[in-house]
């Protein structure tokens, strides 16, 4: 762990989340919240997140040597365990309270954080459901997705298939060319409305359900799309029997020591709100 940088913002103050935004999230499976962090707060934490990424991400292959998943972004997970300053960002009560209110639950725990940096020239992120990876017995999962720099649509902001979360878990399709093919056809067949996030300022954020279908184009801009995400789930959730290798791996990595039927509350899943 590092020494905490003096003067880092606290991120404990509340966010004015009105009932219309909560209803929008629950109806559509996603919502955009402008100014969840101020530009100054985003800039301060961008610095410490960069520092942790530099230590933890060891991808050195050029883009052309990676598969579709590898071209989509540089992914670094659970930065909070390696850097005390990043921990302050990931544990922010402001974010966790928003997550709880959007889902309509009394408390939320951390699943894991991850930085998702889509390099300039990086590839698209195929259609997918996040919940595919998670051995959690709940419909109450949510991801906060926050750019740490100003980004334009051509840099890879998200597209959501609104109301797709109502379909529930859609089967064993990890992020891949196959998930793009299958879910693209499903989106067209079901007639889901496509909601494009558009340009975002550093510190804006989207929240989406673990079962909401979403994707992103490649980064056709001149600099990296730097994004930090935090995944939350409802307190009281139990672990399910992993039904695929990816969930077996997630159980071991993010819910260490737990067995199916037990509360999802390992040492890596602290209660962040209340």
Query: What pLDDT, on a 0 to 100 scale, did the predictor assign at position 7?
Result: 76
CA of 21: how far to CAs of 15, 29, 93, 141, 236, in Å?
12, 11, 19, 17, 25
- Which tokens in the block code for residue 115? 């930085």
Q: What is the 3-state secondary structure (H, E, C) of 209-258?
A: ECCCCEEECCCCCCCCECEEEEEEEECCCEECCCCCHHHHHHHHHHCCCC
Position 60 pLDDT exceeds 90: no
Distance CA 127, CA 28 (A): 16
Q: Does residue 2 fall inside a structural domain? A: no
DSSP 272: E
CATH classification at residue 82: 2.60.120.620
Q: Does residue 162 fall inside a structural domain? A: yes
Q: Does residue 18 fall inside a structural domain? A: no
Model confidence, pTM: 0.94
Query: What pLDDT, on a 0 to 100 scale, did the predictor assign at position 58?
Result: 77
Structural domain including 223 reads 31-257
Position 264 pLDDT exceeds 50: yes
Q: Which of 134, 157, 153 is nearest to 145 (CA)?
A: 157
Q: Which pLDDT tens digit goes with each residue over 164-218?
A: 999 999 989 999 999 999 999 999 999 999 999 999 999 999 999 999 999 999 9
- Domain count across the chain: 1
Q: Which pLDDT tens digit goes with each residue over 101-122?
A: 999 999 999 999 999 999 888 8
Q: Does residue 271 fall inside a structural domain? A: no
Residues 6+ apart with CB under 8 A from 112: 77, 78, 231, 254, 268
Distance CA 108, CA 202 (A): 25
Distance CA 171, CA 159 (A): 20
Residue 138: half-sphere exposure toward Cβ, Cα within 13 Å: 25
Position 1 pLDDT exceeds 60: no
5 — pLDDT class (breaks 50, 70, 90): low
84 or 68, which is more confident?
84
Handedness of CA 99, 107, 128, 155 (dihedral sign): positive
In the chain, the percentage of residues whose pLDDT exceeds 70 is 96
Residue 75: CB atoms within 10 A of its CB come to 15
Q: Does residue 170 fall inside a structural domain? A: yes
């Amino acid at each position: 762990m590092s020494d905490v940088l003096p003067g880092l913002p606290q991120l404990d103050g509340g966010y004015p989340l009105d009932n219309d935004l909560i209803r929008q999230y629950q109806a559509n499976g996603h919502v955009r919240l402008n100014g969840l962090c101020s530009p100054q707060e985003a800039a301060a934490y961008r610095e410490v997140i960069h520092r942790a990424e530099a230590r933890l991400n060891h991808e050195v292959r050029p883009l052309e040597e990676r598969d579709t998943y590898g071209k989509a972004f540089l992914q670094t997970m659970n930065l909070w365990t390696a850097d005390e300053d990043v921990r302050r960002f990931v544990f922010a009560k402001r974010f966790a309270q928003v997550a709880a209110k959007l889902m309509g639950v009394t408390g939320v725990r951390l699943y894991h954080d991850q930085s998702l940096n889509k390099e300039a020239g990086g590839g698209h992120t195929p259609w997918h459901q996040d919940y595919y990876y998670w051995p959690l017995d709940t419909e109450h999962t949510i991801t906060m997705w926050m750019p740490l720099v100003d980004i334009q649509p051509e840099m890879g902001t998200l597209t959501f298939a609104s109301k797709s979360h109502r379909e529930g878990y859609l089967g064993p399709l990890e992020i891949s060319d196959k998930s793009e093919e299958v879910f693209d056809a499903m989106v067209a067949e079901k007639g889901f409305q496509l909601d494009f996030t558009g340009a975002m300022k550093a510190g804006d954020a989207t929240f989406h359900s673990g079962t909401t279908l979403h994707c992103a184009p490649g980064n056709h801009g001149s600099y990296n799309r730097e994004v930090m995400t935090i995944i939350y789930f409802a307190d009281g959730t139990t672990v399910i029997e992993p039904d695929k290798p990816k969930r077996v791996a997630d159980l071991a990595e993010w819910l260490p020591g737990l067995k199916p039927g037990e509360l999802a509350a390992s040492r890596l899943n602290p209660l962040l709100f209340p």
